[in-house]
A and B are shown apart, each in its own frame.
Chain A
Amino acid sequence: MTPRHRDDPRPRVGLAYGPGMVEFVGSHPGWVDYLEIPFEQLRHAPALGALRDTAPLILHCASLSVAGFVPPSASCIAALADHACATGTPWIGEHLAFIAADALADDPGAPPTTLSYTVCPQLSEQTVERVAENLAGLRPQLPVPLILENPPQYFAVPGSTMGMSAFIVKVVERCDIDLLLDLSHFLIMALNTGVDPLREIDRLPLERVVEVHVSGLNRQSGIVWDDHACPAPPLVFDLLERVLQRARPQALTLEYNWSAQFPPAVLRDHIDRARTLLHAA
């Protein structure tokens, strides 16, 4: 592995910020091109912004609820815009999901329910329209483009009228927006809904993919779940190869940010595999 020049135009490979990742960057000069950092952590601990001195930063976000019906606060959006400027992020990746919802109808007067984890929305025309409305309000307030990340789907969402791929196609068409393709989320969705992942991936508008996410997954209690503490299975890299036949992402982020015990040897291997595939495309 030889250090790359910062002006090298080839796709970049980065790590999601988490336990052990900064140390890995420090001990592996030239291996990692950027760190992807959650806006929520940056907002909670602004000193993390100093990581910009360690590596370029890409901002990730889980607060905008772009597929939801409860908008984020004005202060949240303003803080996101401030951090986007401060970090110099080229874009903001946000989940095509919701994190807040109105209180249940049988609990009138209660405030909206805000979760700690984004939820796959109803996959319907109604949600597509809502995403369009939300983005129309959000995009002018942000200094860099938003890109949308496909959510993992663990169960059929009531009232859905289409599958995940069709939903993403409609959102991209309706909103003219680029994508953050999380291959592990995509595989989770495929395994949990019974579609062939290698066929289904071709239905996505891959030419709109700007960034790719790779992480692990884990079958428990009969369902495949997202898991950033274990390595991506080979099928995720098969999907990456398939995607790169049509897509030219600018960045690929390895999301192994749940455990400081993630093996550095596996991290090095996955960085190498990702970079090799990206550069060969």
Chain B
Amino acid sequence: MTAAQVHSVLAGGVSDPRRLAEWAANPQALRALGVDPASLDLPALRGFAGLALKVRHNGLRDAFMHSFRLLRVAGLEIEVFADYALARADSGMALAATDAARARALVDFVGQWHDPGRATQALLWDLLRHEHALFELRQPAATEATMPVPVARSSIAPTPGAAMRVRGAVRLHEMRHDPGAIVSALGQRTPDLTAIVPAPRALCYWRPPGDAAVSVLELDAFGFAALQAAEGGRRIRELSVALGLGARVPAGVRALLMQLQRAGLLSFERQPRNASR
């Protein structure tokens, strides 16, 4: 085992963690590279690959400070980033150049990776999406790109044929826990994550047009469905059908939509009968 051979193996394993799994399954491959398989702690090297990748996400620590604290408190830091390193190698994905793109990719990965049945992983998934929604909506360029409502156009009454529009930018998430409760628990000197009980809720992260502040609104099932439909630019009639209420939009639905209109979240636009969405 020359030092140069050992260094090549260490660097090769860290840069492409798929090799670590190959060497674990086939120790002879490692021996062929000049390294005694019994002398190499493959799980530790996998953890080191995770550490190296974690450090490259330090730029996200400000925006995701609670998620990083949760990762640490739950003992998931190395595990998550080691698995992420492997997933990235599998996909051939290069590390994104911007914090925004790194954040998006990390959230996408955790979405695939987490097991909702494992309490700390479920907490991480909720908290990560919470902080990501706030992070994205606080990026002016990204927010402006999602503002669909022309300033000059005024909102009409919620008639069945009207198209729904979100005013400003929103991110919609169905959470299993109250992110505020997770943040509060993490603020303790010794956080007790087991004390955070599931509390499912539908949240709307909203940045109104022309406003720098982001509000977090708790929605009922109808409000959540209406905003999801509005994000897709759908007509009120389509929403009503999707909710199983038929094409003749009930008065109650219109009343609820008017509440969202008064709150400033939704506007309604007249659309030609065959207008594309």
B-binding residues in A (CB < 8 A): 19, 68-69, 98, 100-107, 113, 115-117, 119, 121-122, 124, 126-127, 130, 154-159, 218, 220-221, 223, 225-226, 229-230, 258-261
Query: Once the chains bind, are B51 and A117 in contact (CB under 8 Å)?
Result: yes
Query: Once the chains bind, are A102 and B8 in contact (CB under 8 Å)?
Result: yes
Tell me the complex Cα distance, A236–B123, Å.
33
* Distance between B86 CB and nearest chain A CB, rounded to angstroms: 14
| Chain A residues in 8 Å Cβ range of B55 | 116-117, 258
Query: Once the chains bind, are B62 and A261 in contact (CB under 8 Å)?
Result: yes
A-B contact pairs, 9 of them (CB 8 A): A104-B19, A105-B5, A106-B32, A113-B12, A115-B14, A119-B11, A121-B3, A124-B3, A229-B68
Besides A19-B58, A119-B48, 11 new A-B residue pairs in contact (Cβ under 8 A), listed by A number: A68-B7, A101-B10, A104-B33, A113-B8, A121-B7, A122-B6, A126-B2, A221-B75, A225-B78, A260-B62, A261-B62
Tell me the complex Cα distance, A158–B23, Å.
15
Query: Once the chains bind, are A218 and B72 in contact (CB under 8 Å)?
Result: yes
Interface of A is mostly: loop
| Chain A residues in 8 Å Cβ range of B77 | 218, 220, 225
Query: Once the chains bind, are B2 and A117 in contact (CB under 8 Å)?
Result: no
* Interface contact tally, CB-CB below 8 A: 132
Tell me the complex Cα distance, A218–B78, Å.
10
| Chain A residues in 8 Å Cβ range of B15 | 113, 115
Kindly state whether residue B247 has any CB partner on chain A within 8 Å: no
Cross-chain contact of A259 among B11, B12, B65 (Cβ < 8 A): B65
* Distance between B21 CB and nearest chain A CB, rounded to angstroms: 15
* Distance between A210 CB and nearest chain B CB, rounded to angstroms: 25
Within 8 A of A (CB), among B1-48: 1-12, 14-15, 19, 29, 32-36, 39-41, 43-45, 47-48
Tell me the complex Cα distance, A119–B82, Å.
16
For the complex of A and B, list the 3 residue pairs with the smallest distance between their C-beta atoms, beginning with the closest. Answer: A155-B44, A159-B1, A101-B11
Residue ID in chain B nearest A19 by CB atoms: B62
Query: Once the chains bind, are A69 and B61 in contact (CB under 8 Å)?
Result: no
| Chain A residues in 8 Å Cβ range of B108 | none
Query: Once the chains bind, are A220 and B75 in contact (CB under 8 Å)?
Result: yes
| Chain A residues in 8 Å Cβ range of B62 | 19, 259-261
Tell me whether A159 and B2 are in contact in the complex, defined as CB-CB below 8 angstroms, given that A105-B34, A115-B14, A119-B10 are known contacts. Answer: yes
Most chain B CB atoms below 10 A, which of A115, A156, A158, A258: A158
Query: Once the chains bind, are A126 and B3 in contact (CB under 8 Å)?
Result: yes
Query: Once the chains bind, are A119 and B7 in contact (CB under 8 Å)?
Result: yes
Query: Once the chains bind, are B3 and A159 in contact (CB under 8 Å)?
Result: yes
Cross-chain contact of B40 among A103, A154, A158, A258 (Cβ < 8 A): A158
* Distance between A83 CB and nearest chain B CB, rounded to angstroms: 22
Tell me the complex Cα distance, A195–B36, Å.
24
| Chain B residues in 8 Å Cβ range of A260 | 61-62
Tell me the complex Cα distance, A105–B6, Å.
11
Tell me the complex Cα distance, A162–B224, Å.
63
Query: Once the chains bind, are B12 and A104 in contact (CB under 8 Å)?
Result: yes
Tell me the complex Cα distance, A130–B14, Å.
22
Tell me the complex Cα distance, A279–B62, Å.
35
| Chain A residues in 8 Å Cβ range of B185 | none
Within 8 A of A (CB), among B53-105: 55-56, 58, 61-62, 65, 68, 72, 75-79, 82
| Chain B residues in 8 Å Cβ range of A117 | 14, 48, 51-52, 55
Residue ID in chain B nearest A113 by CB atoms: B11
Query: Once the chains bind, are A105 and B8 in contact (CB under 8 Å)?
Result: yes
Query: Once the chains bind, are A159 and B33 in contact (CB under 8 Å)?
Result: no
Tell me whether A158 and B11 are in contact in the complex, defined as CB-CB below 8 angstroms, given that A69-B3, A105-B5, A225-B51 are known contacts. Answer: no
| Chain B residues in 8 Å Cβ range of A121 | 3, 7
| Chain A residues in 8 Å Cβ range of B3 | 69, 121-122, 124, 126-127, 130, 159
Query: Once the chains bind, are A158 and B39 in contact (CB under 8 Å)?
Result: yes
| Chain B residues in 8 Å Cβ range of A122 | 1, 3, 6-7
* Distance between A103 CB and nearest chain B CB, rounded to angstroms: 7
Residue ID in chain B nearest A110 by CB atoms: B12
Residue ID in chain A nearest B42 by CB atoms: A155
| Chain A residues in 8 Å Cβ range of B48 | 117, 119, 154-155
Query: Once the chains bind, are B11 and A223 in contact (CB under 8 Å)?
Result: no
Tell me the complex Cα distance, A127–B4, Å.
9
Tell me whether A259 and B58 are in contact in the complex, defined as CB-CB below 8 angstroms, given that A115-B15, A122-B6, A159-B39 are known contacts. Answer: yes
Contact with A along B165-177 (1 / 0, CB 8 A): 0000000000000
